[in-house]
Chain A
Amino acid sequence: MAEASYPEDLLYHPEHDWARIDAADPAVATLGITWYAQDSLGEVVFFDLPAVGASVSKDASYAEVESVKAVSDVIAPLSGEIVEVNEALADDLQKINEDPYGEGWLVKVRIADPAEREQLMDARAYAATLGG
């Protein structure tokens, strides 16, 4: 998508990552990178899918994404265990750029500590950190 967008239904981490709490099962969250992150990176050329079953901790890197400009850590907004990875990305990384909140999702985690959600930002607060 060409224009910046930060959906209201997501929680945001200052390192430009988002979490969507599953409507049916609030113990599960989908994680991805924000519009700003994919726009700053430019076109993504590699993404190393993490393994199902691996644990992720809030504020720590759980994967690497490589664009034509740089290799960047992907930071977990919440702690938990990876229960699903977006296998479709293996064939089509452009989804991360084209649809970062939809088909470009990265992993789903089973949340270890629901209280961590309180430390994340809403869309308005996150957009304010981006300035300009």
Chain B
Amino acid sequence: MSAIDENHLHADPGIDGHHPHHPATAAAAGPMQRERARTIFQKGSPGRRAFVCPPLDVPMPDAEELLPKRFRREQPPRLPEVSEPEIVRHYVGISKRNFDLDSGFYPLGSCTMKHNPRLHERAAALPGHARLHPLQDPERAQGALELMFNLQGALAEISGLPHVSLQPSAGSHGELAGVLLTRAYHEDRGETRHKVLTPDTAHGTNPATVTMAGLEVVKLATNPDGGIDLDDLRAKADSDVACLMLTNPNTLGLFDPNIEEIAAIVHGVGATLYYDGANLNAVMGLSRPGDMGFDIVHFNLHKSFTQPHGGGGPGSGPIAVSERIAPFLPRPVVARDGDGSFALDFDREPGSKSIGRLRGFHGNYGCFVRSYAYICSLGADGLKDASEVAVLNANYLLARLREKGVAEHLPLAYGELCMHEFVLSGGPMKRALKIKTLDLAKRLLDFGFHPPTVYFPLLVDEALMIEPTETETKETLDAFADAIAQILAEAAADPEIALGAPYSTPVRRLDEVAAAKRPVIRQALD
């Protein structure tokens, strides 16, 4: 495969390049599609090297003296034998097969795929940050500790909850921390509670977290306005309920206006109120979970506060808590001593109520640097602007998708206006045009767009969940709305086009059933 072929097939799929392949011309597999996944081990030639060491000019030590026999290999490891250009082309080729935020619009609902300013990368790459060793003596890492201390303070201010732990490594890890804190809080009061309430619109991680923490999930129904059904909440809130886990705005992109009453009901039975911060991008600087009555909140620094994400990490899921939960926080936290210096506070005094450490070392520090850079560069006003534009962009795109030709096939599932995201139902499209939400999503790839989240939340038939974020231009939003309208129009003429999509990607429609039933997760080297 030549580099020219790759470049030709992967012409920039951005705004200027919307020339979706027509199935008639694109159906034949191109070189990329034929090539499939040859691993780096299947390339190269025996003896080929990317780097040649100079001759050894010191005595060669005897390996048998250095290492006991049981630690020594009998065979040399089988490593790829490739030249540097082969390595570069191999990995650049793989990167081009991926769809990423730097290539195009990525409106994946509840994932906040916003642009990551390059300034943050510069800050994170400074040697004092990038080359800092996690075992460095705190006295010699004062700058890093100060950054973490200040980030704790900023997150406390944004959430309206005064005590912060930066340890959790992801949103799900923050949730687990929150439920463990809730359990510790109740146990400290001499109570064992078994149930955690979650709405049926909840992110899937909420029930998973509850199960992981050894508690039982009780689902709450959604009312016709898309918020929590208060009667159902009142019926299920009792003295065995440890916590209500809530996202506000929820996964329908709707802010629950009954939040004060919900908090009163939950606190009335002695339970805690947990805020899933996955949708914080809608409300930064506008409303604070602490003011709404929440006890615990997790942040997704990689979503709301910019980090390259979607490729598997690293993420960061700090938590902020109220006074009554503070004694149980994971340790260490970064504290400021009387002389102004910064230290790691392990709270090792007898009688400490901390749930302990949640991970090795102190969290994903590079994420802290980028998030702190983001908060400092925007400031309080800028964060508020970011959320307002995120909400504006979502509502603009929603308005475009409520135009004739689209709205009758993809109606809004709940509400009239939305916050940072919204959920359409592909049910009418499926019945009238004979294409499903999955087919629409696959066809969007041919237009150079990453599809929105599909089939979530589960209570919406054929759900399509769209979160454009604040960093997209009006032109991009228009191009996306036009693409949806075009796909629906072409489906009305010939549904087979969408049913066979995508046509322009390195691999075509995947067999998801076979992938689930018979996953091939190992490949022989020969």
Which residues of A are interface residues toward B (Cβ below 8 A)?
40, 42-43, 45-46, 66, 68-70, 72, 132
Which residues of B are interface residues toward A (Cβ below 8 A)?
427-428, 431, 438, 455-456, 458, 461, 512-513, 516-517
Which of A46, A69, A132 is within 8 Å of B455, CB to CB? A69
A72: chain B residues at CB < 8 Å are 458
A-B contact pairs, 7 of them (CB 8 A): A40-B461, A42-B438, A45-B513, A45-B516, A45-B517, A70-B458, A72-B458
B431 touches A132 (CB 8 A): yes
New A-B contacts (7) at CB < 8 Å, excluding given A66-B516, A70-B456: A45-B516, A45-B517, A68-B513, A68-B516, A70-B455, A72-B458, A132-B427
- Residue of chain A at shortest CB distance from B438: A42
The 4 closest A-B pairs by CB, nearest first: A45-B516, A68-B512, A69-B455, A43-B513
A46 touches B516 (CB 8 A): yes
Chain A nearest CB, measured from B178 CB (Å) = 23
A132: chain B residues at CB < 8 Å are 427-428, 431
- Residue of chain A at shortest CB distance from B454: A69
> Main SS of chain B's interface residues?
helix
A46: chain B residues at CB < 8 Å are 516-517
- Residue of chain B at shortest CB distance from A36: B461
B427: chain A residues at CB < 8 Å are 132
Tell me the complex Cα distance, A85–B431, Å. Answer: 34
B438: chain A residues at CB < 8 Å are 42
A40: chain B residues at CB < 8 Å are 461
> Main SS of chain A's interface residues?
loop
A68: chain B residues at CB < 8 Å are 512-513, 516
B516: chain A residues at CB < 8 Å are 45-46, 66, 68
- Residue of chain B at shortest CB distance from A71: B204
Interface centre among B431, B456, B458, B513 (most CB of A within 10 A): B513
B455: chain A residues at CB < 8 Å are 69-70
- Residue of chain A at shortest CB distance from B461: A40
Tell me the complex Cα distance, A45–B516, Å. Answer: 6
Interface centre among B428, B431, B455 (most CB of A within 10 A): B455
Chain B nearest CB, measured from A37 CB (Å) = 12
- Residue of chain B at shortest CB distance from A43: B513
Chain A nearest CB, measured from B198 CB (Å) = 14
Chain A nearest CB, measured from B512 CB (Å) = 4
Tell me the complex Cα distance, A45–B519, Å. Answer: 12
B456: chain A residues at CB < 8 Å are 70
B512: chain A residues at CB < 8 Å are 43, 68
Chain B nearest CB, measured from A40 CB (Å) = 7
Tell me the complex Cα distance, A48–B471, Å. Answer: 44
B461: chain A residues at CB < 8 Å are 40
Tell me the complex Cα distance, A32–B431, Å. Answer: 24
A42: chain B residues at CB < 8 Å are 438
Tell me the complex Cα distance, A66–B515, Å. Answer: 13
Chain A nearest CB, measured from B327 CB (Å) = 37
Tell me the complex Cα distance, A46–B513, Å. Answer: 10
Tell me the complex Cα distance, A43–B515, Å. Answer: 12
Chain B nearest CB, measured from A41 CB (Å) = 10
Chain A nearest CB, measured from B175 CB (Å) = 18
Tell me the complex Cα distance, A132–B427, Å. Answer: 8
Tell me the complex Cα distance, A132–B462, Å. Answer: 13
- Residue of chain A at shortest CB distance from B516: A45
- Residue of chain A at shortest CB distance from B517: A45
Interface centre among A43, A66, A68 (most CB of B within 10 A): A68
- Residue of chain B at shortest CB distance from A93: B517
Tell me the complex Cα distance, A43–B456, Å. Answer: 16
Tell me the complex Cα distance, A45–B512, Å. Answer: 9
A45: chain B residues at CB < 8 Å are 513, 516-517
